[in-house]
Chain A
Amino acid sequence: MEEESTSAESASSERIKLNVGGKLFETTLSTLRSGGPDSLLFALSNRRSSDPNPVFIDRDPEIFSVLLSLLRTSHLPSTARRFSKTELNDEAAFYGIDAHLRAATAPPPLSGIDASLAAVLRPASEGLPSSFAVADSGAVWIAHGGQISGYDSSLTHSATVRTHLDEIDAICRVWPEIAAVGSKSDAGLHFYNFSGSRHVGSVHWTDPLDPRIFKARVNAVTSSECSVFASFDCIHRENCIIEVDKTKLQIVNQLARQSGNQAKHVVPAKMTWIPATGVLVGSAVAGGAFGFSGYVRIWDPRSGEVVWETNEPGGSGRSSRFGDTFADVEPDVEGLLLFKLCSKSGDLAMADMRFLKDDPWVYLKEKNPSLVSCGEVRNSVVHCYRGQVFVAREGALEVWSRVGEREIDEESERESEAEGFYRRNFVDKREDSERGIIKKIEGGGDRLFVSREDVEGIEVWESSHSSAPISLI
């Protein structure tokens, strides 16, 4: 406010008049230029100021007044509600300030303790999602019935692509416009371009020395800065991870080839690339009549070696909780932590990926008596986003979040870090959990996307500063 008032007097020559659709507006050059050097408004602001006539823009003045308020306050005024999302997006794109609009309409940082269901994205046909991929901007691609539907960062439907696959089980964003998809019922990893809505390439796992490597199917896909990793498996239970160059869409490397029927030899069903350390984390968990069994493995793709691995059950010294095998594992990419959910006790355990050893697990304790008993559940999903761990047990969604730092000496803090500083809270209400078993959780753009078994569409959970009061009058 201080600077504004001083500039108000000195910068009278910096004022500019605009005539938008017959309505006069007056503002300062700095406000117009805040849209960025590529915007139309910036270009207009460079006109000679000696011209007495205001700049004429043949557009709707009402929407312009909303966008001018946005530039002045970087906050969307309530009058914006008169216009639809697409109207505002189109108009902001015309003036070249769409990035401004996106920033103003983006949800605040996701806080699991204060999130609510913001929207449900329902594709128009065959709406049961088989998988989905989320971008950092909060845009999402939903795979459903062989189609991929794209929703942009304002959650409006942008495009749908029909693929040649009957069912898409794995989907990954390779480039902002290119998706890598794989299916458990059809061979190969396929690349589809969204803007042209066409097939741009395919990759198959073959081995000239082994004719049995044939019709290998994709189980999991993840992408790093320059590669795509896909785990393939064959009908005769041989599997490996193929590294594909992102620009050429060609195979560059093959790693972790293994075969056998044991739980520790099955194909990785979940893979995550850790950019900070350049390693690939893969895991597979099988749930049978005798409980869960599976492995977590970390590969260095440059050497193709396994850096660290753990198998459960079994393996002496791998876990202090024998018989309490994990039901799901998920790395926290930003925090370099590994979280596992124990199948029997329902406890959450954490391991620091920088100091992995024989038994790195630290079990998080929840002291809240009303929440302690989790019990055994058959379906559970763990997902890490923004330093929080989201855990789904059947239909219920909960979050483990760290309590804000306390201003005390560091030593005692470090001591109790593992147990006391994570708190467990429910994200959802009881009614929400009754909608169905949660199959997949993914975070992006400060949103949490949740899909449920046999439920059409994907739920979008967001935090909000608005109290969303319900009027009773």
Chain B
Amino acid sequence: MPPFAGSEAVGFPNIVSIDVGGQLFQTTKQTLTSAGPKTFFSRIAESSGLHTPFIDRDPELFSFLLSLLRTGNLPSKAKAFDLEDLIIESKFYGIESLLINSLSNPSQLEPFNLQKSLLLPLNGRDSPSALAATSCGTLHVAHGSKITSFDWSLRRKSTLLTHFTAVDSLLALSPALAAAGANDFSGLQILDLEKGRVRETLNWENVTKSGSTVQAIGSSPENMFVSFESSRRNSNSIMVYDLHSLTPVTEIGHNEIFGADIHSAIPATKLQWIEGYNLLMASGSHSGPSGVSGNIRLWDVRSGNIVWEIAEKVDCFADVAVCDGLSVIFKVGVNSGEASYVDLRNLNDETAWVCLGDKRRVVNGKKEGFGCKIETQGNQVFCTKGGDVELWSEVVMGSGNRGRIFKKNLMGRVRDMGGAKITNLAFGGSTMFFTRKDQQCVEVWQSSSREF
């Protein structure tokens, strides 16, 4: 739109005047219609007649939202106000999505510029057991039998009581909908967090007719994946549900365990969808007399076949994650505590882990990596180690065929280092969330430049 659409409003039918709470504003029809069809503003743009439309709202807040419409960003003077005022006002005008887009957008995540910025306290005495965030930055935290949800601005919260004694797996389906499951309670519950009730309970009908506990939940744009294990722990399966209707689509990786076949007895405890390859990564491990062993499988969901599989016997993973942007699977070894990777682009039967750290530490047998978490976001890999977070990124060198170079950095300033062990890690909007052992709060890391 031309910024100088005319010095006199009269001759230009393109210009719209609005009276908000006694103050006159002028803007163009294009600006108003950029709010989207069927919003308050588009209706004003259509109905411009002789009368100046009057809106009985606060003029100052309106001026900020008009700037948002014009530029996509809030003016800096809006910082004098509470974000909550602006959210209420934007909801009234029906342009909250623009505000979310401007303030909490996953593309704004700056991994190298994240700093410890907020603590979100949780009431009661239960420590958080699971975290889930949506792409716009809504956060759900399970602590004890409760789930507390924070809105995208992290200013408002609500708490819901569930049937679970503790929630072990949590997935945010939408800002108001979450899927929750537990290792000791049968069924996956779809919780409506706004109404505070269970919308649906999904169960896996297993052969033994016992309960089905949830080991992991994952989702793709179309499907939700749930790893179930029977309560008798002798069968497990990954169910695929349609994300919108929540009806079962297919079942992959169904295992029945007879005798002492330990390797098929491991249910998947992490499910991650690899968008770029249309594959589902399922990993599971368990601790036995000979140490921790496990497996990582890549599933083609449509055919129900395993595309690639690796059995972990030496230095099994403590956690694995796929980085779609880098086409790499990352793991932290449970014994060594070191990060390793395999390249997704050339997987075959001989593919082995490339260790990024000191390989010799494998031999001492201590579980240094125990409880480490690894998550990917964009082209970065975030790996927790004790109370700290390591940020792994690829350094792209122009020439030479020396293989890929990954380098790590410890996140945070000196005063942020250490602290209790990190138990959960999640990303939502432009924010990193994590929880620490025995602390009833969520730590929020945000980019300094985006701070409202």
A residues adjacent to B (C-beta < 8 A)? 1, 4-5, 8-9, 12, 15, 17, 24-28, 31, 65, 68-69, 72-73, 75, 77-79, 111, 113-116, 367-369, 401-407, 420, 423, 425-430, 464-473
Contacts and interface: CB of A to CB of B under 8 A. Distances in A.
Given A1-B40, A114-B159, A473-B115, A72 B53 contact: no
B331 interface: no
Most chain B CB inside 10 Å of its own CB: which residue of A75, A111, A401: A111
Majority secondary structure of chain B interface residues (helix, strand, loop or mixed):
mixed
Interface in B95-137: 115-121, 123-126
Nearest to A422: B161
Interface string B153-188: 011111111110110000000000000000000000
Contact of A404 (B156, B157, B198): B198
B155 A113 contact: no
A401 B161 contact: yes
Interface of B: 19, 21-22, 40, 43-44, 47, 51, 53-58, 81-82, 84-85, 88-89, 92-94, 115-121, 123-126, 144-146, 148, 150, 154-163, 165-166, 195-201, 440-441, 444, 448, 451
B165 A78 contact: no
Contacts of A425: 124-126, 144-146, 161
A244 to B, nearest CB: 41
B129 to A, nearest CB: 12
A8 B55 contact: yes
Contacts of A113: 123-124, 146, 159, 161
A473 B451 contact: yes
A282 B92 CA distance: 51
B88 A404 contact: no
A18 to B, nearest CB: 9
Contacts of B154: 467, 469
Contacts of A468: 121
B25 to A, nearest CB: 13
B440 A429 contact: yes
A22 B236 CA distance: 74
B341 to A, nearest CB: 32
Given A72-B58, A113-B124, A114-B146, A78 B92 contact: no
A470 B155 contact: no
A96 to B, nearest CB: 19
Given A113-B146, A406-B163, A425-B145, A75 B88 contact: yes
A15 B118 CA distance: 44
Contact of A427 (B55, B93, B124, B145): B124
B198 A428 contact: no
B123 A427 contact: yes
A371 B157 CA distance: 25
B332 to A, nearest CB: 27
B51 A9 contact: yes
Contacts of A430: 125
A6 to B, nearest CB: 9
A15 B156 contact: no
B198 A406 contact: yes
Given A1-B94, A8-B54, A407 B115 contact: no
30 contacts: A5-B44, A8-B54, A8-B55, A9-B53, A9-B54, A12-B51, A15-B54, A28-B56, A78-B82, A79-B85, A114-B123, A114-B124, A368-B144, A368-B145, A402-B161, A403-B162, A406-B197, A406-B198, A407-B197, A407-B199, A425-B124, A428-B125, A464-B157, A465-B158, A466-B155, A467-B156, A469-B120, A470-B119, A470-B120, A470-B441
A468 B88 CA distance: 18
B21 A78 contact: no
A405 B197 contact: yes
Given A25-B21, A426-B126, 19 more contacts: A1-B40, A1-B93, A17-B22, A69-B58, A72-B58, A77-B81, A113-B146, A114-B123, A114-B124, A114-B158, A406-B163, A407-B197, A425-B124, A425-B161, A427-B124, A470-B119, A472-B116, A473-B117, A473-B451
A236 B346 CA distance: 95
Nearest to A111: B159
B161 A403 contact: yes
A191 B369 CA distance: 70
Contact of A466 (B53, B157, B196): B157
